[in-house]
Structure 1
Amino acid sequence: MTESIAGASIDSARRAVAARLADAGLDSPELDARLLVGHALQLDLTGLVMHGQRQLSDEEAQRLDALVQRRLAGEPVARILGHKEFWGLELQLSADTLVPRPDTETVVELTLEHLQAGGALARPLRIADLGTGSGAILLALLSELPQAFGVGTDINTAALTTARENARALGLDDRAALVACSYASALAPPFDLIVSNPPYIPSTDIADLAVEVRAHDPLRALDGGRDGLDAYRALIPQAASLLRPGGAVIVEVGQGQSDDVAGLMSETGLASDSSATKADLGGIPRAVMGLKKRP
């Protein structure tokens, strides 16, 4: 493709890239093309519009072609760009972190709805995000809760480095602490809220995931064991012991797992029922909440 776009205008190159991605059957080829062209030329949307008739140099064409080849091989655009927007926040990614997905925003939504119902949005709160990865959930909540302090944990220290950089870039590092441990094993009570997007894909299903996921997201952040519930069996009892009375644990779950996770919460004494869930845009229950009963 390099020869065909060298000397072409930016607009023509973008259309050529979009057509190539569409022919490969990739979703959202026009958006992907705009992002890849912008990244290759270091131009935002305004820059692409303003300079649409400028011709690409041979070097720019080669750089763009290399990015397109990566996308055609199944690498997600967010990985190629090195960042992803989540809850309106731009987060840097690394090989040790998941790409944040819109489904995970249901955890943030359910948490904020719970706090609003209890009149606690403006209160000082202590939050833990177990398996924080890029820090997506923790930083989204801190951006909405100016009186809150959060602790993010991850067993992968490289992921914590990425989360720390994101907190610093967003000006939230003074209210975020990051701890290397398995889920909540190194934390001490009390917490008002505990959130998590743990690995929940059954081990035997990993091979059937889209290449964007199975080949590029860290396996440790995907593999939930034989039935996908291993992480919940570990973190829910930990969360129950750390929560204040009246506190909540809110977790993301996979398709068909909401009842099982609610059952695990009930076994540890947390109150959870069908009303304590939040569905994603596809109508799948995606976030599940358990409440620690007051004496």
Structure 2
Amino acid sequence: MSASVQNELIQITKTLRDNGVESANTDARLLMAHVLGIEKARLTLHVHDEMTEEQAFLVNQLALDRSDRIPMSHILGYREFYGRRFTVTSAVLDPRPETETLIVEALSKPFSEVLDLGTGSGAIAVTLLAERPNATGFATDLSPGALEVAQQNAEKHDVLARLHFEESNWFSAVGGTFDLIVSNPPYIALVEMPSLAPELSYEPRIALTDEADGLTAYRKIAAGAPEHLNPNGWLMVEIGWQQGPDVAALFNDAGLQNVAVKPDLDGRDRVVVGQLG
């Protein structure tokens, strides 16, 4: 027996809410739109449509997956970031809205050559090149799986010809100098890991924590940046909201100038910037 879109939407919303998913309403609509093959904004036009048994079964299965805290991006296979859709798998960190703060800061400066350390899905590097059609980029990651996803995203957004990928442990395989170096490194301290949202257990641990105090990557990035920056070039990194003073101190110790901590839209410290004199 078939059911209407509206009835199934009510059912899966209840399933998500009963399992403690805070974004139950939004997630239910996204799942329904995904199964119907339409944009979420058009869902209202289809609430009285009848679903096939296959569609109803699938949307309920996806609601159970979400109830198990599988991230929405893994269920849908993508995440929207800075107005573009990026492929996401369990091999990469899910691009988050807060990271758009790093994009905004980067685009406020002139650059022709950008280095993205620990590129993951490629969301940062691909976005910057898409926004700057004359720029070129170099993106690194320690994970071959992540680099594969990043290359797919570069191809999808038509910047693959301008973006070089390399498997590298931070600067180990990087040569040359750049106008801009960006990174969203693993910054969660080991002691904080048990208290994280359950969704994060599905993401690569290596992209979340340094298994130490959360500052290991920043020490390496700050120390290596000066020899890889062009004169007046900028280093910009995303941080955890409590790390601003520590990371700014590392930038100052490395001899960078104009060091500043920038907030995200929620007013929390999110990005640290510094310039090579």
CA distance, structure 2, for counterparts of residue 272 and residue 35 of structure 1: 42
- 1:194 deviation in Å? 0.2
- 1:27 deviation in Å? 2.1
SS at match of 1:90: strand
The count of aligned residue pairs is 277
C-alpha deviations, 1:203-223, integer Å up to 9, x for none?
Answer: 12111100011x111000001
Match of 2:87 among 92, 95, 99: 92
C-alpha deviations, 1:135-194, integer Å up to 9, x for none?
Answer: 011111112111110111001011001000001011111111111111121111210000
Residues 40 and 67, structure 1, Cα contact 8 Å, conserved in 2: no
Q: Which residue of 2 aligns with 1:3?
A: none
CA distance, structure 2, for counterparts of residue 17 and residue 236 of structure 1: 47
Q: Which residue of 2 aligns with 1:284?
A: 268
SS at match of 2:225: helix
Q: Which residue of 2 aligns with 1:243?
A: 229
Residues 200 and 223, structure 1, Cα contact 8 Å, conserved in 2: yes
**1:86 alignment partner AA:** F
Percent of matched pairs sharing the same residue = 38
Structure 1, unmatched stretches of 5+, are 1-5
Matches within 5 A, 1:114-129: 115=109, 120=110, 125-129=112-116
Two-structure CA RMSD over aligned residues (Å): 1.5
With over 3 angstroms needed to count, the CA separation of the structure-2 counterparts of 1:241 and 1:250, relative to structure 1, is same
CA distance, structure 1, for counterparts of residue 41 and residue 174 of structure 2: 46
Match of 2:168 among 171, 181, 204: 181
SS at match of 1:74: coil
- 1:272 deviation in Å? 4.4
Residues 15 and 64, structure 2, Cα contact 8 Å, conserved in 1: no
SS at match of 1:186: coil
Residues 138 and 165, structure 2, Cα contact 8 Å, conserved in 1: yes
Matches within 5 A, 1:1-295: 7-45=2-40, 48-113=43-108, 115=109, 120=110, 125-213=112-200, 215-273=201-259, 276-293=260-277
- 1:109 deviation in Å? 1.1
SS at match of 1:147: coil
CA distance, structure 2, for counterparts of residue 83 and residue 235 of structure 1: 29
TM-score by length of 1: 0.90
- 1:20 deviation in Å? 2.5
- 1:251 deviation in Å? 0.1
CA distance, structure 1, for counterparts of residue 85 and residue 95 of structure 2: 10
TM-score by length of 2: 0.95
Residues 193 and 248, structure 1, Cα contact 8 Å, conserved in 2: yes
Structure 2, unmatched stretches of 5+, are none
Residues 262 and 272, structure 1, Cα contact 8 Å, conserved in 2: no
